[in-house]
Every structure is written in structure tokens, then in C-alpha cells.
């Protein structure tokens, strides 16, 4: 009888420990994803840079030799420019990277995603972007004064039809 | 160290070695390392608390199935109340959790904790089989088919976390997208689906529900495939284990109910996330290290696990062979094979059926030899031939050795005790104790019951069949079939005329040689008492 009671007691303890193990690691220890006083910049865009080489105009003879469905006046190389992004926070460089166009022939869009934790508080954010190798420096830019709470997310996007650099 | 049992027994020296009653450590068999020993010690300790048949460590696979069904049942209940929309997802889970805490809340918590327990159990199942070396040889299929269950289980759970659409779901969604985003074909734009509120639509939740049902169904299919090379697979926990597990998970559901975080807000990010480490552990690692590192590690470990059977250097013992001249198609071997390695086919001689062995599935345990009605040592003939036999240890070999040993007599003189010892159990070592003839065999199930009667009639004082404890059997059913055959509950039965008082079935695990020897000594004392009583009766007559 005593042995039976001991066995049941042992089972209660061991199954209890298992339940505690499962219950604890189900939510703990909590993961510190961001420091308590940090906000987050997210840089994300998908943009096809400008054509990297020079285009030329086909002559009438050249056009005549082409099948009708391929008679485009302009003849351009396929390769596109990489997209160069530079982010400055309060006048200091925070991030600078060049994103290559996708595809074996470098003729696709450049895609980017970066997460950049920054201290919460007031900041001046400046984003510059170049999507044309024929242009020196940057041909797009955007800037904004921000007051960020801890945990707030700022998204830096680039949509050419909506004015270029977007900070929101 | 003596050679491991298994190589073809062509020379008498080799056969002597094959028949030595060694234990697995002495024979250098897989699963004898320090990790395996530690596992066994824990298991045997747990046996004392739970009892061998209700020890959860001995039925981790079955417990995994039980938890799967528990998760499925609670999940069906939750699905009834779940709304697949951006606005409805979090709100419906909150209503379920708080407005019917006594049903939906408990179901939700059980769903969560059973899922966590499922990962813990299959992880432990993997470690146990790994420690015991059960990934080699004929077990390669069961091992390899188990590997995808890890990915499917984790993927099913991760998708489940998205469905709640709270701060944890937001973290999981973005971190998973960041993790997959480094793969060619997905790209960094994957995460754009979760970086602003307008990007998330109701259709996402329909897709998630589809995945949260589809992935577990795929998991179930793989779990079914995982069992395909087992006869009578254990696909459920014992009643006691099921009841205790349910009770403990229900208790933790009441004490610490699963709750949601704040609704997902893609314009904010939670600094501290109470993640479920059973499912989400790789996600913090992508920030601590890099997404690429986590891919390399997870894919690398998966490939390593899947390729593990290829790295085994342990020679695979030759599979059993069927002798058409002696196979009468009785199907006993077909019924008793633990690994579904035997099928029945039309006999080439045109009379009934014949057993056909799939060599890739054969464990070379010899349980089928013990089941064969032709393995009858009383049969006359120079060589005893059986319908199905291990080529490196035939029942004919066993009879010849037994005859020779009994004829030579016990080292101490007098009638010997014959010990048929499973080489996965305690064994007697290379030097059997005085007055004992020790014959080792790959599994207790190899022993045809008629050998007990034959030994007694040949002059043995008694017979001991030394098997592993039932749930310890390396070949699943060796001990059980042997016990049933010897007790007359299973074919082939021990003859009723055999003197049951002179037979003892002893259970001794590989670490318990002292227990085996003590059991034999005790049996000897009883046999001697029996002899004296018989002598008195004869004198009185």
C-alpha cells in the first residue's frame, strides 16, 4: 500500500514537472526583440533602376528588317542600374548600401529589406537614393523630422510613381 | 572483445562466438555507449515510478500520436469560433478565451500545451532512438521517414501562432518573412506583406487556416508512413499515460491559461515578446546570428539526421532465408515478424503458400525461426533444417551445440541447467557459471519452444530462458511471443507434456547480470529440492 502511494506520489511529481516544463517554455523566458528605449527603422523597397547603358534609335532600314511585333524605335541594353541608398540620422551616416538588380542579366528590380534599430526620441532623418549609374550622387531624396516613441516603426519606402522616397 | 553476433557461421570457431551468451556491451553492439546507458538508467528508474507498461519514456512515439489527436480535437473546436479576417482573428480568439473560458479558453490552452508537449515528446523520441543506435540497418526507413515530421510539426505550430494576430503573431510573421526572405525565390520583398497595415488582407487568414489544417494533415501522412515497417505499431499511449498527460496539461491550462498579446499593430514593434520556445526558437537566432546561419544550421542538421544511416559502420547481419522444402506456408513467421519483413506468396512447388522475406526489412532477430513449426529438434536426420532460418545461426546449429554441450556435461559434473540467453539482455558472459550451459541468441524469440522439452529430455536438470524485460525488447515482440509460446498461449506452443517446473523464464536487462545469476541459483536450489523429492518418492516406491 505504502509502495503504491509512493508510486502515485512519484507520478504526480513527475507529470507535474513535465507540465511546469511545458508551461514555462511556452512563453518564457521572454525574448528581448528590441531594447526598451529603441524605435525601429525599416527600409524596404522593390524598384527597377534605370537602364544602365545608352539607348539608341533604330533606323528605318533596321526596323523594316525586324518582325512587326518587335519594331520598337528605341534599342536599349537590358541591364539596369543598381539602387544605391544612403540613410542619415541627425546628420550622421546610419546606413549605406548598393542593391543589385535581380536576374542573371541584371535586368530585374532591386529589392531591399533592412531593419535598423535607433534610439527613440527626436530625430532628423534623411534618405538619399540613386537608381541611375549615369547620374553622379543621388537623384532622389526625402527627409523628415521625427519624434519616435519606443517601439515605434518608421518605414522607408521608394515608389517612383508616388514621388520617390517615402518616409512614414 | 568477442565478435558481434551476426556474421555467417561457417567455421565452428565463429559459431562458438555467435552462441556466446554475451550482453550487448561485451558484444560491442550499437546502443551501448554512455549516452545510451544514461538513457537506460533513467528509463529503468522511471519504471519504478510508472511501471514498465505505463512508463511514458517507453512509449514516446505512441504518446506523440496521442498528443496529435488531442491537438486535432481541440483545434476543431477552436476553428468553429475562429474568424478568418484581419479584424476578426484577434477579436474572435479573445472572445473564445474570455467569454467561454471554461470551454474555449481551456481548449485553447490545451491546444497550445499539447502542441508544446508534442514537440518535446518527438524531440525526446528522436534523441532516445539516436542514443540507442536505432537508425542503422533495417531501421533506416523508420529513421529517415521520421525526419520530415520535425519540420512539419514546427511549421504547423508556427502557422498556428500567426492565426492569433497579436503582438507575438506579428513578430512571428515578420521574423519568418525575414528568415525566408534570404532564400532565392522569396527575396526581401516577402516581408513587404507585413510591414504596413494595408498590406495585410483577410485572404491571408484564409491562407493561414488552409496551411494550419493542411500541414498537420501532411504531418499525419508522414507519421503514418513512419510506421509502415512495423507490425502492430504503437500508435497510441497506454490508458494511464494518456490520462496522466491529459490531466497534467489540463492542470497547466487552468494555472497558466494561454492568452493573447495586444492586437497586431504593424506601426509598432513589441520590445519584449513572450515566445513559445518549442516552436519559435529559430526566430531569435536569425537576429542573434543571421538568417543565413539559421538556414545552414537547420538544413544541415536535417540532412545530417537523414544521412545518419549511411554513416553506420556496423556490419548488417545476413537476413533470414526460407527453405521451400521445409516451409509449409503456416504463416506463423508472417504473424510474428515485428518489422513486416515477411509476406506470403504462392509456393513454387504448387502446394499452398510460402514465406517470402524482404531482406531490407529483416532485423535478423530470428523471431521467425522460433515461430517455425519445422524447427523441431526431435526430428530425425543428420541436420535439422527449418522452414526459415538465420544463415549464420540455424536451429540445426543450435541443436548440434546443445547436444554437444549436454553430452560433455556440466563443468562441475551432474546434470546441467541450460540457459538460452538473449544477447540483448544481461547474458552470462563468455564464462558461464558452474553447472550451467549458456547459449546466446540474437533474441529470446529465436528459441523454438520445443528446444525446452528437447533439453530436458536430453538430460538437462532445468531450462532457463533469459529474456529482456518486455518493453526493453530490442526487437519489440521477442519477449512477449516467447512468453506466450512457452505458456501455451501462442503457436508454436511448448508441449503440455514438458515438465513446466523445470522451466523458468527470467527477465534481466543488460545491466542486471547479477540478477540473472541470482535467479539461476535460486532456480537451481528449487530443482535440487525437486530432485531430492523425486528420489525419495522413487525410494519409497
The residue of chain A nearest to residue B48, with distances taken between CA atoms, is A7
Which comes out higher in pLDDT, residue B412 or A109? A109
Would you call A151 and B270 a contact, using CB atoms and an 8 Å cutoff?
yes
User: Model-level pTM?
Assistant: 0.91
Q: Which residues of A touch B196 (CB under 8 A)?
A: 155, 168
- Measured between CA atoms, how close is B38 to chain A, in angstroms? 18
Q: What is residue B269's DSSP assignment?
A: -
In a domain, B461, yes or no: yes
Phi-psi domain of B165 (left: phi exceeds 0; alpha: psi -120 through 50; beta: other): left
DSSP lists the bridge partners of residue B486 as: none
Is B4 part of any domain?
no
Q: Which residues contact B274 (CB under 8 A, 6 or more apart)?
A: A27, A28, A30, A31, B168, B261
Q: Do A113 and B189 touch (CB under 8 A)?
A: yes
Q: How many domains does chain B have?
A: 2
Q: Answer whether B320's CB lies under 8 Å from B388's CB.
A: yes
The answer to whether residue B440 is domain-embedded is yes
- Does B119 score more than 80 pLDDT? yes
Question: Does residue B245 belong to any structural domain of this protein?
Answer: yes
Interface-testing mutation among A4, A5, A11, with chain B (most B C-beta atoms within 10 A): A11
Whether B338 and B439 map to the same domain: the answer is: yes
Lowest-pLDDT range of B163-177, B373-387, B413-427: B373-387
Structure confidence at residue B410 as a pLDDT band (50, 70, 90): low
Confidence check: pLDDT of B188 > 50: yes
Q: What is the distance, to the nearest Å, from the Cα of residue A160 to the centroid of all Cα atoms in its chain?
A: 16
Q: Please write the tens of the pLDDT for every residue from A125-145.
A: 999 999 998 888 889 999 999
Output the nine-digit C-alpha cell for B311: 554513416
Q: CA A107 → CA A55, A76, A130, B184, distances in Å?
A: 15, 11, 17, 16
Which run of H or E residues covers position A42?
A: strand A38-47
Cβ neighbours of A42 in B, within 8 Å: 195
Whether B288 contacts chain A with CB within 8 A: no
What digits encode the pLDDT tens for the residues B7-54? 444 444 577 778 888 888 888 888 888 899 899 999 999 999 999 999
What is the rounded CA–CA span in Å between residue B390 and residue B194? 62
The whole-angstrom distance between A73's CA and the closest CA on chain B is 33
Q: Mind spelling out the 3-state secondary structure of B11-54?
A: CHHHHHHHCCCCCHHHHCCCCCCHHHHHHHHHHHHHHHHHCHHH
**Are B113 and A26 inside 8 Å of each other by CB?**
yes
Nearest CA-CA distance, residue A93 and chain B, Å: 22
Q: Verify that B134 and B231 share a domain, yes or no.
A: yes
Domain of residue B132, CATH code:
1.20.810.10
Q: What is the pLDDT of residues B154-172, one digit of tens each?
A: 999 999 999 999 999 999 9
Q: Please answer yes or no on whether B187 and A102 come within 8 Å at the CB atom.
A: yes
Which among B482, B462, B467, B480 has a CA at the least distance from the CA of B515?
Answer: B467
Cα separation, B76 vs B83, in Å, equals 13
Distance set, CA B121 to CA B60, B114, B116, B153, B248 (Å): 6, 10, 9, 11, 14
State yes or no: pLDDT of B301 exceeds 90. yes
Is residue B5 in a domain? no
Q: Looking at beta carbons, which residues of chain B come within 8 Å of A102?
A: 187
Q: What would the pLDDT profile of B195-205 be if each residue is shown by its tens digit?
A: 888 889 999 99
Distance CA B310, CA B304 (A): 10
**CB < 8 Å to A40, chain B:** 269
Distance in angstroms (rounded) separating the CA atoms of residues B466 and B487: 15
* Contact residues on chain A for B277, CB-CB shorter than 8 A: 25-26
Has residue B86 got a pLDDT over 60? yes
Mutate to test the interface with A, among B110, B115, B252, B273 (most CBs of A within 10 A): B252
CA distance B171 to B305: 29
- Dihedral over alpha carbons A161, A163, A166, A168 (to 10 degrees): -100
* B429 vs B517: CA distance, rounded Å: 11
Q: State whether residue A7 is helix, strand or coil.
A: helix
Interface residue ranges in chain A relative to chain B, Cβ cutoff 8 Å: 7, 10-11, 14-16, 18-23, 25-28, 30-36, 38, 40, 42, 44, 46, 102, 111-113, 115, 150-153, 155, 168
Query: Do B303 and B394 belong to one domain?
Result: no
What is the average pLDDT score of chain B?
92
Instruction: Answer yes or no: do B327 and B227 share one domain.
Output: no
How high is the pLDDT of residue B262? 94
Search chain B and give the residue with CA nearest A33: B271
| pLDDT at residue B129 tops 90 | yes
Condensed to tens digits (0 to 9), the pLDDT of residues B449-496 reads 999 999 999 999 999 999 998 888 999 999 999 999 999 999 999 999
- For residues B348 and B326, what is the distance between their CA atoms, to the nearest angstrom? 12
d(CA B502, CA B456): 8
Alpha carbons within 13 angstroms on the beta-carbon side of residue B339 total 24
Same structural domain for residues B535 and B394? Answer: yes
What are the tens digits of pLDDT across the range A51-109?
888 889 999 998 999 999 988 888 888 999 999 999 999 999 999 999 999 988 889 99
- Any domain includes B278: no
Is pLDDT above 50 for B2? no
Please, are residues A138 and A129 in contact by the beta-carbon 8 Å criterion? yes
**Quick one: B366 and B300 in the same domain?**
no
Residue B208 grid coordinates: 493561414
Give domain status of residue B453, yes or no. Answer: yes
pLDDT at B321 over 70: yes
Nearest residue of A to residue B182, measured between CA atoms: A113
Put simply, the answer to whether B49 touches A11 (Cβ < 8 Å) is yes
The domain containing residue B223 runs over which residues? 51-265+291-310
Are both B63 and B105 inside the same structural domain?
A: yes
Instruction: Determine the residue of chain B that is closest to A36 in CA distance.
Output: B271
**Is residue B298 located within the same domain as residue B192?**
yes
Does residue B245 sit at the A interface (CB-CB below 8 Å)?
A: yes
Interchain proximity B188–A115, CB inside 8 Å:
no
> Which pLDDT band holds residue B358 (cuts at 50, 70, 90)?
very high
**B143-152, B185-194, B514-523: the lowest-pLDDT one:** B185-194
In this structure, the answer to whether residues B447 and B330 fall within a common structural domain is yes
Q: What angle do CA B339, B424, B387 make, to 5 degrees?
A: 50
Between CA B81 and CA B102 the distance in angstroms is 15
What cell does A118 get?
Answer: 535607433
Query: B275 touching A, CB under 8 A?
Result: yes
The closest alpha carbon to A151, from A42, A40, A53, A57, belongs to: A40
**Minimal C-alpha gap between B272 and chain A (Å):** 5
Which residue from B476, B452, B485, B448 is spatially nearest to B372, judged by alpha carbons?
B448
Nearest CA in chain B to A152: B268
Q: Are residues B252 and B104 in the same domain?
A: yes
Nearest to B328 by CA among B377, B386, B384: B386
Q: Residue B118: closest CA among chain A residues belongs to which residue?
A: A22
Domain boundary among B310, B339, B364: B310
How far is C-alpha B332 from the chain's CA centre?
23
Strand partners, A39: A118
What percentage of residues in chain B have a pLDDT greater than 90? 78
Nearest CB to A27; choose among B48, B196, B274: B274
- Indicate if B298 and B398 belong to the same structural domain: no
**Interchain proximity B116–A26, CB inside 8 Å:** yes
- Neighbour-count burial for B424-461, b at 16+ CB within 10 Å, e otherwise: bbbbbbeebbebbbbbbbbbbbbbbbbbbbbbbebebb
Of residues B124 and A53, the one with the higher pLDDT is: B124
End-to-end Cα spacing for chain B? 53
The answer to whether the CB atoms of A115 and B178 lie below 8 A apart is: yes
Residues of chain A positioned with their CB less than 8 A from the CB of B266: 153
pLDDT reported for residue B11: 44
Q: How confident is the model at residue B3 (pLDDT cuts 50, 70, 90)?
A: very low
**Distance between A26 CA and the closest CA of chain B, angstroms:** 4
How far apart are the CA of B283 and the nearest CA of chain A, in angstroms? Answer: 10
Q: Where is the domain boundary, B251, B280, B310? A: B310
Residue B410 shares a structural domain with residue B386? yes
Say whether B181 and A113 touch across the interface (CB within 8 A). yes
Provide the edge-to-edge strand list for the sheet that holds A92-99. Answer: A92-99, A83-89, A121-130, A140-148
Q: Is residue B145 part of a domain?
A: yes
Q: Using CA atoms, how far apart are residues A133 and A79, in angstroms rounded to an integer?
A: 11
| Neighbouring residues of B41: CB distance < 8 A, sequence distance ≥ 6 | B511
Share of chain A above pLDDT 70, in %: 100
What is the residue-wise DSSP string for B288-320? HS-HHHHHHHHHHHHHHHHHGGGG--SPPPPPP
pLDDT band at B71 (very low <50, low <70, confident <90, very high): very high
End-to-end CA distance of chain A: give it in Å, rounded.
72
The DSSP annotation for B172-208 comes to HHHHHHHHHHTSTTT-GGGGGGGSSGGG--HHHHHHH
ipTM: 0.89
Which chain A residues touch B255 with a CB distance below 8 Å? 23
For chain B positions 182-241, those within 8 Å of chain A (CB to CB) are 187-189, 191-192, 195-196
Which residues in B lie closer than 8 A to residue A48 (C-beta atoms)?
none
- Model confidence at B399: pLDDT above 50: yes
Chosen for mutation from A9, A10, A19, A115 (greatest number of chain B CBs closer than 10 Å) is: A19
Amino acid at each position: 500500500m505504502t509502495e503504491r502511494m509512493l508510486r502515485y506520489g512519484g507520478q504526480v511529481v513527475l507529470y507535474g514537472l513535465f507540465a511546469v516544463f511545458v508551461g514555462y517554455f511556452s512563453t518564457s523566458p521572454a525574448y528581448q526583440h528590441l531594447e526598451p528605449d529603441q524605435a525601429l527603422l525599416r527600409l524596404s523597397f522593390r524598384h527597377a533602376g534605370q537602364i544602365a547603358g545608352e539607348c539608341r534609335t533604330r533606323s528605318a532600314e533596321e526596323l523594316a528588317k525586324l518582325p512587326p511585333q518587335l519594331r520598337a524605335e528605341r534599342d536599349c541594353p537590358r541591364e539596369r542600374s543598381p539602387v544605391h541608398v544612403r540613410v542619415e540620422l541627425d546628420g550622421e551616416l546610419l546606413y549605406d548600401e548598393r542593391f543589385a538588380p535581380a536576374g542573371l542579366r541584371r535586368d530585374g528590380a532591386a529589392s531591399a529589406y533592412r531593419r535598423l534599430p535607433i534610439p527613440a526620441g527626436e530625430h532628423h532623418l534623411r534618405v538619399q537614393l540613386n537608381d541611375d549609374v549615369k547620374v553622379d550622387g543621388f537623384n532622389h531624396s526625402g527627409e523628415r523630422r521625427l519624434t519616435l516613441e519606443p517601439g515605434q516603426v518608421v518605414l522607408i519606402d521608394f515608389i517612383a510613381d508616388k514621388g520617390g522616397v517615402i518616409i512614414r | 572483445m568477442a565478435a558481434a553476433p551476426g556474421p555467417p557461421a561457417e567455421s565452428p570457431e565463429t559459431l562458438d562466438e555467435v552462441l556466446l551468451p554475451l550482453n550487448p556491451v561485451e558484444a560491442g553492439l550499437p546502443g551501448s555507449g554512455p549516452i545510451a546507458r544514461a538513457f537506460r538508467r533513467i528509463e529503468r528508474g522511471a519504471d519504478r515510478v510508472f511501471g514498465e507498461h505505463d512508463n511514458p519514456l517507453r512509449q514516446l512515439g505512441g504518446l506523440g500520436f496521442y498528443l496529435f489527436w488531442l491537438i486535432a480535437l481541440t483545434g476543431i473546436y477552436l476553428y468553429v469560433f475562429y474568424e478568418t479576417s484581419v479584424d476578426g482573428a484577434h477579436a474572435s480568439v479573445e472572445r473564445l478565451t474570455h467569454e467561454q473560458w471554461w470551454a474555449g479558453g481551456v481548449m485553447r490552452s490545451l491546444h497550445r500545451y499539447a502542441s508544446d508537449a508534442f514537440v518535446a515528446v518527438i524531440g525526446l523520441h528522436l534523441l532516445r532512438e539516436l542514443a540507442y543506435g536505432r537508425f542503422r540497418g533495417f531501421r533506416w526507413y523508420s529513421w529517415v521517414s521520421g525526419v520530415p515530421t520535425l519540420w512539419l510539426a514546427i511549421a504547423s505550430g508556427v502557422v498556428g501562432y500567426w492565426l492569433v494576430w497579436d503582438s507575438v503573431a506579428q513578430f512571428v510573421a515578420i521574423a519568418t518573412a525575414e528568415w525566408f526572405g534570404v532564400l532565392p525565390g522569396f527575396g526581401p520583398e516577402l516581408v513587404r506583406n507585413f510591414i504596413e497595415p494595408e498590406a495585410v488582407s483577410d485572404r491571408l487568414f484564409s491562407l493561414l487556416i488552409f496551411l494550419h489544417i493542411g500541414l498537420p494533415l501532411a504531418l499525419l501522412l508522414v507519421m503514418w508512413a513512419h510506421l509502415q515497417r512495423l507490425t502492430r505499431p504503437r500508435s497510441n499511449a497506454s490508458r494511464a499515460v494518456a490520462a496522466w498527460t491529459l490531466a497534467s496539461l489540463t492542470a497547466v491550462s487552468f494555472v497558466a491559461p494561454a492568452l493573447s498579446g495586444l492586437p497586431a499593430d504593424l506601426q509598432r514593434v513589441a520590445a519584449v515578446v513572450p515566445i513559445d520556445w518549442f516552436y519559435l526558437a529559430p526566430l531569435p537566432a536569425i537576429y542573434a546570428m543571421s538568417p543565413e546561419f539559421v538556414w545552414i544550421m537547420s538544413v544541415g542538421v536535417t540532412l545530417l539526421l537523414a544521412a545518419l544511416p549511411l554513416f553506420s559502420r556496423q556490419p548488417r547481419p545476413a537476413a533470414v532465408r526460407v527453405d521451400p522444402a521445409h516451409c509449409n506456408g503456416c504463416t506463423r513467421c508472417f504473424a510474428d515478424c515485428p518489422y513486416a519483413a515477411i509476406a506470403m506468396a504462392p509456393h513454387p512447388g504448387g502446394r499452398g503458400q510460402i514465406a517470402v522475406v524482404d531482406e531490407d526489412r529483416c532485423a535478423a532477430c530470428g523471431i521467425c525461426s522460433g515461430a517455425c513449426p519445422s524447427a523441431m529438434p526431435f526430428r530425425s536426420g543428420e541436420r535439422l533444417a527449418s522452414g526459415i532460418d538465420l544463415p549464420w545461426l540455424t536451429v540445426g546449429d543450435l541443436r548440434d551445440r546443445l547436444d554437444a554441450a549436454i553430452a560433455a556435461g556440466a563443468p562441475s559434473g551432474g546434470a546441467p541447467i541450460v540457459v538460452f540467453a538473449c544477447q540483448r539482455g544481461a547474458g552470462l558472459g563468455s564464462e558461464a557459471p558452474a553447472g550451467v550451459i549458456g547459449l546466446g541468441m540474437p533474441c529470446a524469440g529465436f528459441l523454438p519452444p520445443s528446444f525446452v522439452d528437447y533439453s530436458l529430455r536430453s538430460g538437462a536438470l532445468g531450462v532457463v530462458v533469459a529474456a529482456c524485460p518486455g518493453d526493453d525488447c530490442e526487437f519489440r515482440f521477442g519477449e512477449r511471443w516467447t512468453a506466450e509460446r512457452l505458456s501455451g498461449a501462442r503457436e508454436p506452443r511448448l508441449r503440455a507434456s514438458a515438465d513446466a517446473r523445470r522451466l523458468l523464464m527470467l527477465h534481466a536487462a543488460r545491466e542486471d547480470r547479477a540478477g540473472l545469476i541470482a535467479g539461476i541459483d535460486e532456480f537451481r536450489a528449487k530443482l535440487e529440492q525437486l530432485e531430492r523429492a523425486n528420489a525419495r518418492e522413487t525410494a519409497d516406491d
